Chain A
Amino acid sequence: MRYEGEHLLIGQIGHFFALLSLVASITATIAYYKSAQSIDVNRALSWKKMGKISFIIQAISVISIFVILYLIIYNHYFEYKYAHQHSKRSLDVQYLLSCFWEGQEGSFMLWTFWQSMLGLAVMRTAKKWEAPVMTIISLSQIFLASFLLGIYFFDLKVGTSPFVLMRNEFPDAPIFKDPQYLYKYLTDGNGLNILLQNYWMVIHPPVLFLGFASSIVPFSFAVASMWKKEHKDWIKQALPWSLFCGGVLGLGIMMGAAWAYESLTFGGYWAWDPVENASMVPWLLMVAGIHTMLIYKHTGHSLKATYLFIPLSFLLVLYSTFLTRTGVLGDTSVHSFTGEGNSLYWHLLLMITSFTLIPLILYIRRRKGIPVVVKEESMNSREFWMFVGALLFFISALYIIVLTSLPFFNKLFDTQWAIGKDVEYVYNRVMVLVVFVIGLLTAITQYFKYKDTTRKYFWSGLLWPTVISVVLSALITFFGNVDYEKYGAGFLAAIHIAIWAAVYSVIANGGYIFKVLKGNLKAAGASLAHLGFGLMLVGILISSSKKELVSVNTTGISISGLKDVKGMDENPLENVTLIHNVPTRMKNYTVTYEGDSSIEKNDRVFFKIHFKSLDTASGKKPEEFYVHPNAFLVKGDEGMNLSSNPGSKHYLSRDVFVYITSWLNPDSIKDTASFANKWVGKGDTVFYSKGYIVVGNIITANKYDNKDLPVVDSAWLSNLVVYSNDGRSYTSQPGFFVKDNLPSVKLDTVYTQNLVLKINSTKGDLIELGIKESDAVMRYITLKAYQFPYINVLWLGIVIMVIGFMVSMVRRFRV
């Protein structure tokens, strides 16, 4: 059968380049290996040339694959599975890139793309290290290229190609019996996961993967140095690369945090989710490695530790890919990536094993020749405290990765363990102490000199920062209202001393830049990075412990028929229902749901929520603002689904965040209910489906004996009390007016009971009461609202930290 409208050539070209990139990286690996092993200079050179050419060919292939896949997505060739699965015609152009990395294949492609670019850079700069280092990088390219292969070796499928066709993947689907399937059926794709339709998701994955990919460079240098038995010289080149990795990976991780903060609905930037942890652990190791490299460079100590930390950082990148991509984490992570199943599992495991064995075997064979300094580090030396810090990062990384790996251990040992009630606290209570020690170390360590420091020098620099930070953090403690009491006084005290250490770190590093370095920012990379890191810690500690739930449910609607449960106080009810145009009090705001509007193209609804602060005592003008959360309406098998995107109001010192948890689409329901009428008098009782109504006073007034009745001629009002079955009661006052002999009716609605009440007519002491029970009486939304104070301190800290990394990198590259 000939199918109409397919674009097969472009996919075949893509496939060709995928194969070419594999073959070329195999050639590059072999050629570079030969070159590194050759003793004869000419042979080494000619092998090296061949390695160069092969690597350039593979880089071109990778770029071509990249471009071709983008063209397929951009042109909406839905005959390709990747385009059909991840994109959609109505998607804005900027999100087409996000489609790219939504899928497994796209993210491996991003990785191999960056690794190729980094490889090219190393090729140009590594000089005598080129052959051995590029051997390792090319070897890693072989593995990455094989992930995009999608070829069967006997029964074993190796990799997944991004260029497969829908009809080949689903040959049994009936639509492919029709040669015009593309015009009739596959006219649009599945679209991009709504959570990923966010500008952070355009930029976060490329930066994160650049960070991941760059960890191969220090790894390769470490392996090369053991391989070539040149333990000293590699540091000079590997250090700027490590700094590059530390900066970019740190930025990438925190961009992910910013995305989680703005678009996910967990109410925060960090949730100790396995996916987050897995990306942070390689960073911790890389930073530990940077510090031991510096120690080694200046004193000759800590080389063995460097040979542990640097390779481990790259291995943890692989391991974290393994955890998040193979579905091992399945039930524990909110980011549910699912894997390619078994084939990827073994494929990645093979890659991890290979890259573990290479440095391990080399280390064992070379350990005799690794230089060790016998003399002990002095307690008054910079290297001693730097090493303690590096070690602490290493231990923290272990703690985090062991806990994160529980699901994998369960799989290995067939156990059923999981972290219990409070996942975040399990991490936080340890990390708060780590923050204390690390904050302290980053504050004091620069004031030590390498090898030995006199007490006078140390204190002359550090005295004022110490005093200032003690005063500042005391001010925070006494006036900052950091009173996070959920876990008792011990944890609160830990938070406060951690805040002190973090403030200390900021002040001491700032002081170092101005007093010791005399404001020479080019030399201040380390101090800047530490200052930024300290600021980040301050931001994390304060914003997390002062994070406030605004939408505490105080309307007090009780839950009928249930025993009260212990522990309810510590978990306040977080959702508040707002009825259209009914101002509702939340914490120190009056909040009103004023309306909504939808954009048809995206099935997206924007809500207009008005906030007004209750701060009237101070006499200031009350603060008012609007927040516009929005939500996508996703058509599912069983009606509409809501996928919420928070709205926020940013202030310099705090953010107010609102997101919709539930919404009743008023168009979806029709009011079919009608009024049931009944004549009643004072004291009568009328039943409705959820309870009963007692008629109280009936007030009659007319303009002859009541001068306060200017608008109407006569009025009848009835005070009703509605008793619902859940034990609550409401008052209601419907009315009936006559003006110029024309009757008018005042409806009264008991919203929570979906009850509309009116008086139809009157006769003596009796009124005819109209009762309607309807679902359509109201428009309402349910929302959650949070307030995050001082979150900008965190973001500012990250920016400064990354700048610090980059400044150091540039300097180390030159020196």
Chain B
Amino acid sequence: MKKIHIVILIIVAGAIAGLLTLTGDLTTYDSIESAKRKEGKYVHLIAKLDKSKPIQYDPVKDPNFLSFYAVDSLGSETKVIYRNSKPTELEHSDRIVLKGQMNGEVFECKEILLKCPSKYKDDPNQQLKNISKPAATSQKS
């Protein structure tokens, strides 16, 4: 066997070992129900902001405390706590990806990814909605 083959083998073995150690870091996308069943396990939730419930964020009292309610497509709901500042477009979000774990009755969230209509400029429905509001557009001219 050539030396270069030995090197290749070592590197490939290293790569496989690297990928194997990953399995511990992998997590899953879950519904709120299944996240509740796996309390304490780090998961990703895809949900929506429940606009009928209050969003609690008072930067004077604590700039690192945000709580709101999230609903998923199956209809289950949970309170979410995020120990960081409120993402400014939270109220406008269509869909949110929450990364974190259930802690008792609340979802302790470490990271929030927002999907906002403003970013979805290419979304035709949103466009239609925008141009159908003549007042807002014409005012600015």
A417-B26, A420-B25 as given contacts; A186 in contact with B137, CB under 8 Å: yes
A174-B132, A186-B137, A571-B83 as given contacts; A336 in contact with B18, CB under 8 Å: no
Q: Chain A residues with Cβ under 8 A from B127's Cβ?
A: 85, 169-170
Q: Chain A residues with Cβ under 8 A from B59's Cβ?
A: 575, 577, 661-662, 664, 780, 782
Min CB–CB distance A384 → chain B (angstroms)? 7
> Mask for A163-188, Cβ within 8 A of B = 1, else 0?
00010011011110000000011111
The residue on A at minimum CB distance from B86 is A662
Q: Chain B residues with Cβ under 8 A from A579's Cβ?
A: 60
Docked complex: A94-145 residues within 8 A CB-CB of B:
103-104
A391-B11, A575-B84 as given contacts; A336 in contact with B119, CB under 8 Å: yes
- Expressed in whole angstroms, the Cα–Cα distance for A585 and B120 within the complex equals 40
Q: Could you tell me if A576 and B46 are in contact, using CB atoms closer than 8 angstroms? A: no
Min CB–CB distance A604 → chain B (angstroms)? 14
Q: Chain B residues with Cβ under 8 A from A573's Cβ?
A: 63-64, 83-84
Q: Is B74 an interface residue (CB 8 A)?
A: no
Partner-binding segment picked from A201-209, A210-218, A502-510, A637-645: A637-645
Q: Could you tell me if B141 and A188 are in contact, using CB atoms closer than 8 angstroms? A: yes
> Mask for A224-267, Cβ within 8 A of B = 1, else 0?
00000000000000000000000000000000000000000000
Q: Could you tell me if B61 and A387 are in contact, using CB atoms closer than 8 angstroms? A: no
Q: Could you tell me if B60 and A754 are in contact, using CB atoms closer than 8 angstroms? A: yes
Give the tally of cross-chain contacts (CB within 8 A). Answer: 189
SS class of chain B's interface: helix, strand, loop or mixed?
mixed
Q: Could you tell me if A419 and B121 are in contact, using CB atoms closer than 8 angstroms? A: no
Q: Chain A residues with Cβ under 8 A from B88's Cβ?
A: 641-644, 661-662
Min CB–CB distance A560 → chain B (angstroms)? 9
Q: Could you tell me if A376 and B19 are in contact, using CB atoms closer than 8 angstroms? A: no
Q: Is B89 an interface residue (CB 8 A)?
A: yes
- Expressed in whole angstroms, the Cα–Cα distance for A340 and B65 within the complex equals 37
Min CB–CB distance B74 → chain A (angstroms)? 14
Contact of B103 among A403, A422, A565, A576 (CB under 8 A): A565
Q: Could you tell me if B124 and A170 are in contact, using CB atoms closer than 8 angstroms? A: yes
- Expressed in whole angstroms, the Cα–Cα distance for A10 and B104 within the complex equals 62
> Mask for B29-44, Cβ within 8 A of A = 1, else 0?
1100000000000101
Chain B interface residue count: which class? Answer: 35 or more
Q: Could you tell me if B141 and A641 are in contact, using CB atoms closer than 8 angstroms? A: no
Docked complex: B77-129 residues within 8 A CB-CB of A:
81, 83-86, 88-89, 91-92, 97, 99, 103-104, 108, 110, 113, 115, 118-124, 127-128
Contact of A752 among B60, B89, B120 (CB under 8 A): B60
- Expressed in whole angstroms, the Cα–Cα distance for A661 and B87 within the complex equals 8
Q: Is A562 an interface residue (CB 8 A)?
A: yes
Min CB–CB distance B82 → chain A (angstroms)? 11
> Mask for B43-59, Cβ within 8 A of A = 1, else 0?
01010000000000101
Interchain residue pairs with CB less than 8 A apart (20): A85-B121, A173-B132, A174-B132, A187-B137, A188-B137, A331-B44, A332-B113, A339-B122, A376-B2, A399-B19, A417-B26, A419-B27, A563-B103, A565-B103, A576-B63, A638-B92, A639-B91, A661-B85, A782-B63, A782-B85
Binding site for B on A (CB under 8 A): 84-86, 103-104, 166, 169-170, 172-175, 184-188, 190, 193, 330-332, 334, 336, 338-340, 376-377, 379, 384, 387-388, 391-392, 395, 398-399, 402-403, 410, 416-422, 426, 430, 433, 553, 557, 559, 562-563, 565, 568, 571, 573-577, 579, 634, 636-639, 641-644, 661-662, 664, 726, 751-752, 754, 778, 780, 782, 784
Q: Which 4 pairs show the lowest CB-CB distances between chains A and B?
A: A661-B85, A573-B64, A420-B27, A575-B63
Binding site for A on B (CB under 8 A): 2-4, 7-8, 11-12, 14-15, 18-19, 22, 25-30, 42, 44, 46, 57, 59-65, 81, 83-86, 88-89, 91-92, 97, 99, 103-104, 108, 110, 113, 115, 118-124, 127-128, 130-132, 134, 137-138, 140-141
